[in-house]
Amino acid sequence: MTFPDFGYSRNPAFGQRGISAAAHPMAARAGAEMLRRGGNAVDAAIASAFTLSVVEPYNSGLGGGGFLLVRDGGNGAITIVDYREKAPASATRDMYIGPDGNPVPGASLDGYRAAGVPGTVAGLCRAAERFARLPLATLLCPAIEIAEHGFPADERYIANVKDRLKVIRRLPATAKILLTADGSVPPWGTPIIQQDLAHTLRRIVATGPEDFYRGDTAALIARDMAANGGLITTADLAGYSVTERDPVRGTYRGYEIVSMPPPSAGGTHLIQMLNILEGFDLKASGYGSVQTIHLMVETMRRAYADRAKYLGDPAFNKVPVAGLTSKAYAAELRASIDLAKATPSATLSAGSPVGYESEQTTHLSAADADGWVAAITQTLNTGFGSCVVPAGTGVILNNEMDDFSSKPGFPNYFGLIGSEANAIAPRKIPLSSMTPTLVLRDGRPFLIAGAPGGSTIINTVLQIIVNVIDHGMDLRMAVEKPKVHHQCLPDGIRVEPHGTATDVLEALRARGHAIIARPTFGIACAIQYDHDGATLIGVPDNRGIGEAVGV
């Protein structure tokens, strides 16, 4: 399989047999090739995900983790494959706290001690075993070929290398892969060749996940960790397991919403926010108006306050999902919104949902004419994760330990505040915002969406859904329209430059909202079935270089 050029198209794609949409054109094309070979949407998603691990080493990889949503085209059953990273067994509650009692800057982000036990290989291999039609050798073929022959460094690759250059240069095995021979940032178009990673991928073809977690690759990772003060051991790798979960479900204006359960906060708070917004007439107030933005950000503010208090690994905490996603709790939160004035976040505490009980990441989506749907969001956390590459593996390890609350009340890299529910503990899964989501209409797939972007992910998916359902936008417009973001703290509306009219921004300030400029939001991928289900439409986000390919 060859990819003779690096041209890409941001145009929507149409297909009768299926669509593959991903954050990088090589990954989208790898997925489409699986559809052409007779694979289903899961085959396409697995091939795309492994390819993204090669061509977007700053966003995801074999050393990371993620979440997969699968809809079975035969019986309509929906399964969540949770392959999120886990804390090593020797991780401790205060491992990043310094003598002054506060988190040590960079300790949970850079180097060997920042990495959690990776889950990507286990998760994608589980999906291949459970749902795919094609053999693993076929699914990994594009990733292996690109790792062996290289992909050209583009502007995004170069920018991410520059951003982590100081850390990369401190780690010889990493610098050997990502930089030129003299330690410089590769010029545009330089082939990025990853022979060690190709060898690791070939071992996965031969043994499935066994090699990565118990074989030669596991030994290489554990040996390098032990030599450099890291925490991951052979026992940690051998003990890693994937969890299959039920999705969280809700409704919005007659559509069914199916999304990520804890340990992701994504689906819970997506449904919570849609429940709140369902009580407002957003169609009448209109996209981009002062009133619509005010209602959206006041809703976001309340959901993220609850996120900080309640969300964490459900194996360690009782997460009140049913309460957080109930219509009754949403009505209580809706009533607390002043229609004309911002609520200062400092005065806003989390609600009480229990009484109602009964930016570096990547995303891809795939769907086919038989009703199979697959949506994956996976990550290393920040750009190039911890920047650690265990010698001989080619695998860049994550820095997901920063997604825990190193100290309750202190922000992580994305500015998110955490609580005891997300404190570090051995073998615990850190809280995530990943939100691959399926919208059903009359029980049939209608819209598949997801995005990278750290703390902005949930709100990006929220606005795509609202743009389609409330504002009647076509999918391309729904994905590309400027977004806003509020996460309770820091207390301000994050807006894209030139994305919101000046008079609207001034009116929002007059209501008490602070405005924070943000360069861009998560680069979404979305797929929609047309009204009769005969044609699929795929849309890449013009904020990135992604592509959608129809078959």
Residues 164-202 pLDDT 10s: 999 999 999 999 999 999 999 999 999 999 999 999 999
Q: What is the mean pLDDT of the chain?
A: 93
Residues 352-383 pLDDT 10s: 676 664 467 999 999 999 999 999 999 999 99
Among 50-54, 207-211, 244-248, 450-454, which is the least confidently predicted range? 450-454
Identify the domain containing residue 181 by its residue range. Answer: 20-244+361-422
**Quick check: helix, strand or coil at residue 124?**
helix
Q: Is residue 25 domain-resident?
A: yes
Interatomic CA distance for residues 224 and 120, integer angstroms: 19
CB 11, CB 111: distance < 8 Å: no
CB 22, CB 56: distance < 8 Å: no
Interatomic CA distance for residues 15 and 320, integer angstroms: 40
319 lies in the same domain as 185: no
58 lies in the same domain as 133: yes
Of 432, 453, 403, 434, nearest in space to 87 by CA: 403
335 lies in the same domain as 210: no
In the predicted model, is pLDDT for residue 413 greater than 70? no
Domain end call among 422, 444, 472? 422
Per-residue model confidence (pLDDT) at position 174: 98
Distances (CA, A) of 482 to 1, 141, 242, 497, 504: 37, 37, 36, 9, 13
Q: Which amino acid is at 71?
A: R
Q: Is residue 386 domain-resident?
A: yes
CB 325, CB 261: distance < 8 Å: no
Query: From start to end of 38-90, where are the E strands?
Result: 65-71, 78-83
| Strands of 248-252's sheet in order across | 13-15, 536-540, 525-529, 444-450, 437-441, 255-259, 248-252
CB 60, CB 380: distance < 8 Å: yes
Q: Is residue 544 domain-resident?
A: no
Interatomic CA distance for residues 376 and 416, integer angstroms: 23
CB 49, CB 378: distance < 8 Å: yes
- DSSP state string for 349-360: ----GGGG---E
What CATH number did the domain enclosing 314 receive? Answer: 1.10.246.130
Helices then strands, counting H and E runs in the chain, come out as 19, 19
Q: Is residue 543 domain-resident?
A: no
Among 144-148, 411-415, 521-525, which is the least confidently predicted range? 411-415
Interatomic CA distance for residues 306 and 321, integer angstroms: 11
297 lies in the same domain as 277: yes
Per-residue model confidence (pLDDT) at position 101: 92
Interatomic CA distance for residues 173 and 385, integer angstroms: 14
Interatomic CA distance for residues 81 and 371, integer angstroms: 18
365 lies in the same domain as 494: no
Phi/psi of residue 406, each to 5°? Answer: -60, -35
301 lies in the same domain as 188: no
CB 44, CB 32: distance < 8 Å: yes
Active site residues: 361
Name the strand (E) or helix (H) holding 364. strand 360-368
- Domain count across the chain: 2
275 lies in the same domain as 396: no
Burial profile 126-149: b = 16 or more Cβ within 10 angstroms, e = fewer: bbbeebbebebebbbbbbbbbbbe
Per-residue model confidence (pLDDT) at position 414: 59
Phi/psi of residue 391, each to 5°? Answer: -55, 135
**Quick check: helix, strand or coil at residue 221?**
helix
Q: Is residue 41 domain-resident?
A: yes
Residues 80-139 pLDDT 10s: 999 999 999 999 999 999 999 999 999 999 999 999 999 999 999 999 999 999 999 999
401 lies in the same domain as 284: no
144 lies in the same domain as 93: yes
Q: Is residue 147 domain-resident?
A: yes
**Quick check: helix, strand or coil at residue 204?**
helix
Q: Is residue 545 domain-resident?
A: no
Of 356, 347, 248, nearest in space to 298 by CA: 347
Residues 22-65 pLDDT 10s: 999 999 999 999 999 999 999 999 999 999 999 999 999 999 99
- DSSP state string for 380-414: EESTTTT----TTT-PPBP-GGGGSBSSTTSB-TT
When computed from its CA atoms, the radius of gyration of the chain, rounded to whole angstroms, is 22
Residue 316, Cβ density class (10 Å: 0-12 exposed, 13-18 middle, ≥19 buried): middle
303 lies in the same domain as 443: yes
25 lies in the same domain as 94: yes
Residues in the chain: 551
164 lies in the same domain as 32: yes
Q: Is residue 431 domain-resident?
A: no
